[in-house]
Amino acid sequence: MEQSVNAAGDVFTMDPGQVPRHWYNILPDLDIEVPEPARGPSSAPLSGEGHPIQPQLPLSMFRQARSRSRFVEIPEPVRAQYQRWRPTPLYRATRLERELGTPAHIYFKYEGTSPSGSHKLNTALPQAYYYQRSGIREIVTGTGAGQWGSALAMACRPYGIGCTVFMVRCSYEQKPYRGVLMRLNGARVLLSPSEETEVGRAALRADPDTPGSLGIANAEAIEYANSRPGARFSIGSGENHVLLHQTVIGEEALTQMAMAGEFPDVVIGAMGAGSNFAGLTFPFYRAAKAENAGTRFVAVEPEACPKMTRGRYLMDHTDYSGVTPMVKMYTLGHKFTAYHIHAGGLRYHGAAPIVSAMYDKGLVEAVSYGQTRVFEAGVAFAKAEGIVPAPESAHAVACAIDEALEARRRQSRRVILFGLSGHGLLDLGAYEKYLSGEIVDSAPSDADIQASLRSLE
Amino acid sequence: MDRLSDSELTVKIKDAIIRVLDLDLDHERLTDDISLYSSVVRMDSLTLLQLLVTLEREFNVEIDDEDVMNANLDNVGSLIAMIRQAVTGGGVASESGRTA
């Protein structure tokens, strides 16, 4: 096994043999309750006497997500696929530190080296593996910015599984090459809302100019999957099993931070539904708890979709149509449609149940940023470190910069670790708009949020 | 676990269904012909998986993914038949997804 640090001491890499053999399940380490999903008033698609129940999830993945064991073995075929690009590198952002004049040490774990360009392949691959073992011939999904859709399309390919993706319309228009990436991997890509489903047609009737939302795209995917034999709906963000799969990120980063001889005072991740945030932070939560380290964990969300900072902790559906079981989460309401910001991957209305339960008990923090500040941070980072962050990832960059500036004000040493969940090379159109001064901030009013939440009361 | 008779196994499975779904009835009223979606059972795809994981623990078996995906589960009888098959057949242990 080989670990290496470059001559400058700011790049920490590991041998493929050091790809973790287990995912980390945080549930045994939480002394808090994470409420189980519950059936809602309109749950269960195709409900009615005589219809068979179709589980959308392979039992193996559900079993993992409810396991009482800390570690879940990664199937060898999945681990072998991980080894094609993992372990991903950990960097110390020394040039950014110098630019900021901060005594803080800033580290970032970079997931943009994956073939799909983001962390999403970490769960797409095991999902494709388990669905194929279940005899499923087609996976249907919804995607926001397209990182999940392109990762799933890539993952389905080697398993010979068909892939159909409902992509949020405004994100497709902002990032058309994400759709191309999905199609060249054999996926069928439909703009959501679409005319293919009842849900889509209803959303278009209600607002022909709707930008769409991940909630609508997921609802369309569920309806579409239920209409096709051998097809199932898959999700790539806030479910327990998705968070579990993403912990390969944090497990590797734990080793790499040890190579650097440091442990973070604060760990930061962008927050869509929570898989990126959880993937990096959960293993550090375990380690910090064991050492009583006092590490802070900060989820960064867009001001346009402030589910944690301004939402409420309620039982809600994960999809727009309300056919899915209800889960307890910080939510803006499943009918909430965020302004079409460029960080399309962060426009989801709810936070993962595990992350929500932790936030409710003060185990994690949350902050929100407007997109002009996010792009400003993304550009500063790109200039300093030579990597263009995806707009979603740039939320974490903005927060890391603020933490570093705070350390400068206090003249205190602070070790900062953040997740750079993907590159922004398919988001250059958004950066062009920022550089041309066309990016504006937006946030829902209190009345907007209250109106959206009213349906849950 | 001692080998259960067919009727004992059926009662045990029905009791688990009642407990996991928090149903207000006893196992004699949970007849085979009741639809899983009915107002009596009110099952959905997620509560089905919760039930199966509970039963796996109780009977110390692992139910195969494909058996669940391919099962035509429309009423209580079909659900009991699938679980009985997994229990009496010893279940098909997965090669992955094991915990450590």
| Confidence (pLDDT) at B100 | 44
Q: Tokens in use for A94?
A: 């020394």
Alpha carbon of B13: minimum distance to chain A alpha carbons (Å): 18
Single-letter amino acid, residue A3? Q
Q: CA angle A276-A253-A383, nearest 5°?
A: 75
- The beta-carbon neighbor of B43 closest among A53, A68, A73 is A53
Nearest to A18 by CA among A264, A189, A266, A259: A259
Residue A141's H or E segment, with its range, is: strand A138-143
Helix, strand or coil, per DSSP, at residue B69: helix
In the block, residue with structure tokens 């727009």: A320
In the block, residue with structure tokens 């964990």: A297
Strands A3-5 and A11-14: antiparallel
Q: Do B49 and A44 touch (CB under 8 A)?
A: no
| Confidence (pLDDT) at A36 | 85
Nearest to A348 by CA among A296, A276, A279, A284: A276
Chain B residues within an 8 Å CB radius of A61: 97
What Cα–Cα distance (Å) separates residue A281 from each residue in A109, A150, A162, A250, A251? 11, 24, 33, 6, 9
Are A367 and A298 in contact by the 8 Å Cβ rule? The answer is yes
Question: How confident is the model over A124-174, as pLDDT tens digits?
Answer: 999 999 999 999 999 999 998 899 999 999 999 999 999 999 999 988 888
d(CA B25, CA B46): 21
| Confidence (pLDDT) at A42 | 56
Q: Tokens in use for A39?
A: 């059936």
Is residue A48 over pLDDT 60? no
- A61 φ, ψ (degrees, to nearest 5): -70, -35
d(CA A242, CA B60): 26
Q: How many other C-beta atoms are found inside a 10 Å radius of the C-beta of residue B66?
A: 15
A69 vs B: CB within 8 A? yes
Chain A residues within an 8 Å CB radius of B63: 59
A22 vs B: CB within 8 A? yes
User: Peptide bond before A87: cis, by omega within 30 degrees of 0?
Assistant: yes
Q: Do B45 and A57 touch (CB under 8 A)?
A: yes
| Confidence (pLDDT) at A47 | 45
Mutation site for B-interface testing, chosen from A34, A54, A59 by largest number of B Cβ within 10 Å: A59
Is residue A277 over pLDDT 50? yes
Alpha carbon of B72: minimum distance to chain A alpha carbons (Å): 6
CA closest to B54 among chain A residues: A63
The hierarchical CATH code for the domain B6-91 is: 1.10.1200.10
Query: Which one has a higher pLDDT value, A344 or A370?
Result: A370
Return the number of CB contacts < 8 Å for A and B.
115
Question: How confident is the model over A397-430, as pLDDT tens digits?
Answer: 999 999 999 999 999 999 999 999 999 999 999 9
Under 8 Å CB-to-CB from B69, ≥6 apart: which residues?
A54, A55, A58, A134, A135, A136, A232
Is residue A289 over pLDDT 70? yes
The model carries a pTM of 0.93
Strands A188-192 and A162-168: parallel
Residue A431's H or E segment, with its range, is: helix A428-435
d(CA B76, CA B81): 9
Are A342 and A369 in contact by the 8 Å Cβ rule? The answer is no
| Confidence (pLDDT) at A175 | 85
B39 vs A: CB within 8 A? no
Alpha helices in A164-239 (DSSP H): 169-174, 176-184, 198-206, 214-226
Alpha carbon of A304: minimum distance to chain B alpha carbons (Å): 31
Q: Do A60 and B94 touch (CB under 8 A)?
A: yes
Per domain, the residue ranges of chain B are: 6-91
Question: How confident is the model over A185-232, as pLDDT tens digits?
Answer: 999 999 999 999 999 999 999 999 998 888 899 899 999 998 999 999
| Confidence (pLDDT) at A322 | 78
| Averaged confidence pLDDT in chain A | 93
- The beta-carbon neighbor of A55 closest among B38, B49, B94 is B49
Write the DSSP assignment of A234-266 as a string of letters: ---SSSHHHHHHHHHHHHHHHHHHHHHT---SE
Q: What is the band of A49 on the pLDDT scale with cuts at 50, 70, 90?
A: low
Q: Tokens in use for A53?
A: 């129940």
In chain A, the N- to C-terminal Cα span, in Å, equals 55
Are A304 and A444 in contact by the 8 Å Cβ rule? The answer is yes
Chain A residues within an 8 Å CB radius of B47: 39, 325
Question: What are the DSSP E strand ranges found in A193-236?
Answer: 231-233
Question: How confident is the model over B74-90, as pLDDT tens digits?
Answer: 889 999 998 888 888 75
Residue A333's H or E segment, with its range, is: none
Provide the percentage of residues in chain B whose pLDDT is more than 90: 17
Give me the count of residues in chain B. Answer: 100
Alpha carbon of B82: minimum distance to chain A alpha carbons (Å): 13
| Confidence (pLDDT) at B95 | 37
d(CA A94, CA A383): 12
Question: How confident is the model over B6-23, as pLDDT tens digits?
Answer: 888 899 889 988 988 888
Chain A residues within an 8 Å CB radius of B49: 55, 57, 59, 62
Is residue A377 over pLDDT 50? yes
Single-letter amino acid, residue A295? T
| Confidence (pLDDT) at A405 | 98
- The beta-carbon neighbor of A52 closest among B52, B62, B73 is B73
Question: How confident is the model over A58-114, as pLDDT tens digits?
Answer: 999 999 988 889 999 999 999 999 999 999 999 999 999 999 999 999 999 999 999
Are A331 and A273 in contact by the 8 Å Cβ rule? The answer is no
Chain A residues within an 8 Å CB radius of B80: none
CA closest to B49 among chain A residues: A59
Q: Do A59 and B53 touch (CB under 8 A)?
A: yes
